Amino acid sequence: MTTIAIQPILDASGQRSYRAVYGDKQSIGKTAGQALDALTNQLGETEFRAILVFQNFHPDQFFGIEKQKRLSELMELWRKACDEEKSLSAELQAELDSLVEAELNATAERAKFLMQQSE
């Protein structure tokens, strides 16, 4: 089954949107559903099956406030670069990739924790 992470992100003005990530593919939407739809279109999925887990996206022991803020900042820079048909610098892109991976790992750890709590 395909695992996709969907995260809320805030731009500089505080406007919320959502980013869906699978591997090296990402999409942005005004809603989580729009982000998911755009990403599944990129993946070429003709039949999409999923288990959806929603969380409140507040900082926690798995992914703290500083990492969340930096991820939002980098995503804003990434969106601006995309809008201008540019790329982030290699250093910023590496930092963004690292934070995305850290958030995905945190999501897995959070899910594992929640499963243990429900047993």
Tens-digit pLDDT profile for residues 79-100: 889 889 999 999 999 999 999 8
Average pLDDT, the chain: 83
pTM beyond cutoff 0.85: no
Summarised one tens digit per residue, pLDDT across range 53-76 is 555 667 889 999 999 899 989 988
Q: Nearest Cα to 30, choosing from 77, 65, 79?
A: 79
Q: Is the pLDDT of residue 47 over 80?
A: no
Cα–Cα distance for residue pair 116/29, rounded to 1 Å:
32
Whether 103 contacts 67, CB under 8 Å: yes
Chain-centre distance of CA 68, in angstroms?
Answer: 10
Name the amino acid, one letter, at 88: L
Q: What is the reported pLDDT for 24?
A: 80
Q: How many independent structural domains does the chain possess?
A: 1
> Can you give the residue range of the structural domain that contains 21?
5-118
Q: What is the reported pLDDT for 7?
A: 82
Q: What is the reported pLDDT for 39?
A: 87
Please spell the DSSP secondary structure of 13-81, one letter per residue.
Answer: T--EEEEEEETTEEEEESSHHHHHHHHHHHHT-SS-------------SSS-HHHHHHHHHHHHHHHHH
Residue 8: phi and psi, rounded to 5, are -75, 145
